[in-house]
Amino acid sequence: MIRRALGLAAAALLAATALTGAARAADAPDPGDWEAVLKAAQGQTVYWNAWGGEPRINAYIAWAGEQVKARYGVNVEHVKLSDTADAVARVVAEKTAGRDTGGSIDLIWINGENFAAMKRNGLLYGPWSEAMPNYRFVADGDLVKLDFTVPVEGLEAPWGKAQVVFMYDTAEMPVPPRTAADLLAWAQANPGRFTYPQVPNFLGSTFLKQVLYEVTPDPSVLVRPADEAGYEAATAPLWSYLDALNPVLWRQGRAFPQNSAAQRTLMSDGEIAMAISFNPAEATSAILKDELPDTVRTAVFEGGTIGNASFVAIPYNATAKAGAMVLANFLMSPEAQAHKQDPDVWGSFTILDVATLAEEDRARFAGLDLGIATLAPEALGTPLPEPHPSWMTRIEEDWARRYGASQ
């Protein structure tokens, strides 16, 4: 009798495990079994939450969606965000409300602080990205292994590379500054002709990081979390640099453009002659669209400029995880990457190691005309790593106290 009951219980237990196992398989596809992922992805709809502020990027996302639909039967809906943080907040809200499955976001275009926050709070699915078939083409290195010094650990798949360049108008500035000190000297000689987006805007903060790398006594401390004593010593030269720069900025530093697009508009209006950009092809694309004068060119600092990769990640409660993987894998394909690097399309640099590709794929990249204002990949140099996020939190607070309240 007892034995029979135990047997029944064991059977029930087994069945239950099998059932939840099956449920988990559908909910949590195994990236190692690519055929199964493709099968599970058939007919799924992927809600891809991605910044929607740039028509060209939106068009690229739409193109990727069409390709994935035609090849793998995966539907892609672009949820246009004005700020990636909105998507993070929504996943937090869903977790708070107990919606651990059936979440409303399947894939997020993400990096840096938002990735760090999601990883810290266990809001990401994975690891999965390194098991994607196309990951083998990705260039090896810290650029794709670390996201703002936070280890990626397979929780997000790289899909684009960004690096700081300075756009300058040759009509006014035949030779671009090659160091932060050059930049300051030029700004002092030409008051009101340079500015940067208002911190804590991403690009504005990037400008501070770029200067910090050049003026701080020991840049190697920046990749570790900031501590009290180290922070003071490392940032003191930054503040004296900015104290000198602020009064000669556009509008005497009493106002700042709110973001990169507003900054580009200032350049288009001739209000400033130089601007920072995180996309080496931005100037070329803007010239093609008649947004910037065709006398604009780009340059980098001698000591190197900050670079990073941007990624796509799957939230822990995503509904269409398999579909999201199929899309992410496609985004890493040589074809999608080469299309993206075309300045007529987007002009975003690839995260692939082009030299290792098959000849036919190498030809796709070799055939690209990068345009008149874009530096060749060799000229960009090796990107400097992003500092640890803890530095920026404090620097942004201090910036607001010093320059953000118009005393």
Residue among 381, 347, 342 nearest 365 (CA): 342
Q: Does 26 bind another protein (CB under 8 A)?
A: no
Member of 225, 270, 302, 353 binding another protein (CB under 8 A): 270
Q: Which residues are CB-contacts of 11 (< 8 A; sequence separation ≥ 6)? A: none
Member of 14, 89, 236, 379 binding another protein (CB under 8 A): 89
Q: Is 321 helix (H, G, I), strand (E, B) or coil?
A: helix
Member of 35, 269, 359, 378 binding another protein (CB under 8 A): 269
As beta bridge partners, residue 311 has: 110, 158
Closest distance of CB 290 from another protein, Å: 5
Nearer to another protein, 5 or 405 (CB): 405
Nearer to another protein, 312 or 375 (CB): 312
Query: What does the block give as tokens for 3?
Result: 């034995």
Q: Does 92 bind another protein (CB under 8 A)?
A: yes
Which x/- pattern, by CB under 8 A, does the window 69-88 give for another protein? -------------xx-xx-x
Cβ 176 vs Cβ 168: under 8 Å: yes
* Cα separations in angstroms, 230 against 148, 217, 335: 19, 11, 45
* Complete DSSP assignment for 174-200: SS---SHHHHHHHHHHSTTSB--PPTT
Member of 38, 46, 76, 117 binding another protein (CB under 8 A): 117
Q: Does 198 bind another protein (CB under 8 A)?
A: yes
Nearer to another protein, 169 or 214 (CB): 169
C-alpha to C-alpha distance for 176 and 117, rounded to whole angstroms: 37
As beta bridge partners, residue 309 has: 161
Closest distance of CB 329 from another protein, Å: 28
Nearer to another protein, 113 or 342 (CB): 113
Cβ 322 vs Cβ 44: under 8 Å: yes
Closest distance of CB 294 from another protein, Å: 11
Name the region of 98 (left: φ>0; alpha: ψ -120 to 50; beta: rest): left
Query: Segment contacting another protein (CB under 8 A): 156-164, 175-183, 264-272, 365-373?
Result: 264-272
Residue among 291, 295, 309, 332 nearest 138 (CA): 332
Residues numbered 295-334 forming contacts with another protein, rule: CB under 8 A: none
C-alpha to C-alpha distance for 389 and 147, rounded to whole angstroms: 10
Strand (E) or helix (H) holding 19: helix 2-27
C-alpha to C-alpha distance for 52 and 61, rounded to whole angstroms: 10
Member of 39, 99, 136, 254 binding another protein (CB under 8 A): 254
Nearer to another protein, 269 or 359 (CB): 269
Closest distance of CB 254 from another protein, Å: 5
C-alpha to C-alpha distance for 352 and 140, rounded to whole angstroms: 9
Q: Does 256 bind another protein (CB under 8 A)?
A: yes
Count interface residues toward another protein (CB under 8 A).
Answer: 41
Member of 44, 111, 114, 235 binding another protein (CB under 8 A): 114
Member of 42, 188, 252, 382 binding another protein (CB under 8 A): 252
Closest distance of CB 12 from another protein, Å: 36
Cβ 197 vs Cβ 261: under 8 Å: no
Instruction: Read off the amino acid at residue 14.
Output: L
Q: Does 404 bind another protein (CB under 8 A)?
A: yes
Given the rule CB under 8 A, which residues bind another protein? 53, 55, 82-83, 85-86, 88-89, 92, 96, 114, 117, 191-192, 198, 250-252, 254-256, 258-262, 264-265, 268-271, 290-291, 293, 400-401, 403-406
